[in-house]
Amino acid sequence: MDWMLKELADGVPHARHVVVLSADGLRMAQYGTDTDSADRLAAACAGLQSLAAAVGHEFPHGDRRMRMVVIEMGGGFFYLMAAGARAYLAVLADEGVDAGLMGQRMRDLVARIGEHLSTPPRTSEPAL
């Protein structure tokens, strides 16, 4: 999966960090960042997707699932996209990133590998 994340980062100017995470905030893959930063970002994303789910309940129609969150901050942008059942794709990008291109490339990546990004729910039962 690393080469696909690299392809996303290299294909969108100003992209910095790309992280794939599970819904419970565990890093599954990364590109362009160190492991500690990727772990912190994944943990923060779990909280953000939970918040987005709570906001989704305020919409009267549709499936109300979070599809994408974009946060603009001084210094850049943060993108979080649903990438399969219980999996997410997160990207940090510097100012100057083409937001439309980033969204399109993220959607393309999710469409290509979405089923590989899905993670089953954790259970407390021991594996046999």
Q: Where are the domains of the chain?
A: 2-117
Residue 34: the pLDDT is 95
pLDDT tens string, the chain, 128 residues long: the values are 788 999 999 999 999 999 999 989 999 999 999 999 999 999 999 899 889 888 988 888 878 788 899 999 999 999 999 998 889 999 999 999 999 999 999 999 999 876 665 555 555 655 55
Residue 120: the pLDDT is 56
Q: CA–CA separation, 60 vs 70, rounded Å?
A: 22
Entry pTM: 0.85
Q: Tell me the backbone φ, ψ of residue 97, rounded to 5 degrees.
A: -65, 145
Fold type of domain 2-117: Beta-Lactamase (3.30.450)
Decide: residue 42, CB within 10 A, 0-12 exposed, 13-18 middle, 19+ buried: buried
